[in-house]
Structure 1
């Protein structure tokens, strides 16, 4: 309740309209347009209150780079970007600040209205960045305009209308690339446990300063948080992902390490301790074993 009140107070102080559907822990949806530095600062302040489980569909205009742990995608002018909170992502502006027009939402907004995370545009960075010609950029802008208009309307079923517009945007993008509509689905308790594990893991990132530290460091920490045995967690994750819990955890931590090495000036020791390693030497050993080079060599190669 404290977080909810803080966010509502922020909206009021900034003279921003408070979304009608604003209940953290349930459904949340909003549309934002950022075309000035002041608006960017406001959005950053607002989103810092939120859980790190928000999906975003970003329409950007300007020169920028989309950084992932193992790939960087350069954008010259117009692009549509789908952001999954469970996939590490950073947008770097190249010259002037980019203009952003985006919607943000959580899974619960689509409860009983389809599983939004199943769509390929939210699965990996091979499918979620669409470079656009100007005329197509304008078409997507029109869809976001319609979302914003619906949100401010008095229509009884406006949130269903907004959900339809989100799906219209998704399908329009996927048709551009001929993507398959959905990733094959696996049902059952193992999937639920795996998704909860992955969400807990995702909520620990990104790290914003050297004072940030991940709290869930080992598989047993996640099992305790989920109130299940470590064997139950390991069995479920192995069944769904064909990887061990430790492998997924190490992979995700090293993805964050690569991002920090590429975009910050933190020392190797600072990165090691923030990522939960007991000693820098253990971090260096793990990084070299999995990535092939020591952290400082990786940094030098990617500056």
Structure 2
């Protein structure tokens, strides 16, 4: 699983195929809209640091941590910065449109509240809709108007684009979401594999100013957008160890490396590994290994 893709990362990844409608940030927040005709047929499993609404005209599969859905007709996809997903197209040529935006852009004058609490973007919600022909026409027309507007020189065009975005959201909220998600036959294997990959990506800690972001099983479950009980069950089933044991083992491994191969003091190592106080780290390390961190530093073991 790749690291979170930022807006800058999105533009860098697609610099060669977005075309002239690629515009930079403007004003409060960020918004942009594109045709899908130059999209890669495969989007890697990862989280994105932005919201995205895509009208997918084509066939393929959307993959989440523990389930997937077959896209065999035009679909409207809502993605947010919390829930990671991957797209795998069955066709080289893709059609449709997508827009990406930040919450700051949409919340400028909005009454929708927190986007992650809305029916379309919330955790545990259904982010895929299959519009009928009437709604396909409505959404296609909205996207075409967005494409035209964003290239205009009208001084208030972002207010219009925001209005189009509201219209798309409210039109979708009238619809029924997809109910055809399928569980993976090897769901435990997939979840455990994604967890181990995510765990490994937290390391190495390269600088005393870089702190461990994910520290508990719940942190990892939230990052994978699954219930912590499901994560614990899958990791235990596949690895024979609990989620906490896997996290602890990797933290201790990193602590050994930092003690042996850096000149950071104990406090810097402790803070880098996510401990609020150096004493907590010392007690934790000694409890797990039977020796004190200073003993490793002084080559006493």
Q: In the alignment, does 2:218 pair up with 1:248?
A: yes
Matching residue of 1:172: 171
Residue aligning to 2:83: 87
Q: Please tell me whether the aligned partners of residues 215 and 276 of structure 1 are also in contact (alpha carbons under 8 angstroms).
A: no
In structure 2, the CA distance between the partners of 1:121 and 1:31, relative to structure 1 (3 Å rule), is: same
Q: Which has the higher helix share?
A: 1
Q: TM-score, normalised by structure 2?
A: 0.53
Using a 3 Å threshold, how does the CA distance of structure 1 residues 121 and 253 change in structure 2: closer, same or farther?
A: closer
Which residue of the partner structure matches residue 19 of structure 1?
23
Deviation (angstroms), 1:127: 2.9
Cα distance change of structure 1 residues 93 and 276 upon mapping to structure 2, 3 Å threshold: farther
CA distance in 2, matches of 1:108, 1:21: 12
Q: Which runs of 5+ in 1 are unaligned?
A: 179-205, 227-244, 260-266, 280-303
Matched, 1:214 2:202: yes
Query: How large is the Cα RMSD of the aligned pairs?
Result: 4.7
Residue 110, structure 1, aligned to residue 106, structure 2: yes
Q: TM-score, normalised by structure 1?
A: 0.53
Mapped partners of 2:10, 2:128: distance in 1: 33
Cα pair distance change 1:255/1:175, threshold 3 Å: closer
How far has the Cα of 1:27 moved from its partner? 1.5
Q: Paired residue for 1:231?
A: none
**Whole-angstrom distance in 1 between the partners of 2:18 and 2:67:** 37
Tell me, in whole angstroms, the C-alpha distance in 2 between the residues paired with 1:9 and 1:94. Answer: 21
Deviation at 1:56, TM superposition (A): 0.4
Does the aligned pair in 2 maintain the 1:58–1:80 contact within 8 Å? yes
SS in 2 for 1:86: coil
* Cα distance, 1:132–1:112 mapped onto 2, change above 3 Å: closer
Distance in 1, Cα, partners of 2:87 & 2:116 = 21
Instruction: Please list the CA deviations of residues 149-183 of structure 1 after superposition, one character each: whole Å capped at 9, or x if unmatched.
Output: 111112221111111111100000111239xxxxx
Q: Report the counterpart of residue 31 of structure 2 in structure 1.
A: 29
In structure 2, distance between residues paired with 1:113 and 1:74 = 36
The answer as to 2:58 corresponding to 1:62 is yes
Aligned residues between the structures: 208
| Aligned counterparts of 2:91 and 2:8: Cα–Cα separation in 1 | 36
Partner of 2:201: helix, strand, or coil? coil
Distance 2:10 2:73 in 1: 36
Answer with 1 or 2: which has the greater Rg.
Answer: 2
> Does the residue aligned with 1:65 lie in a helix, a strand or coil?
strand
Q: What does 1:192-231 align with in structure 2 at a 5 Å threshold?
A: 213-215=201-203
Structure 2, unpaired ranges of 5+: 1-6, 178-193, 232-237, 251-301
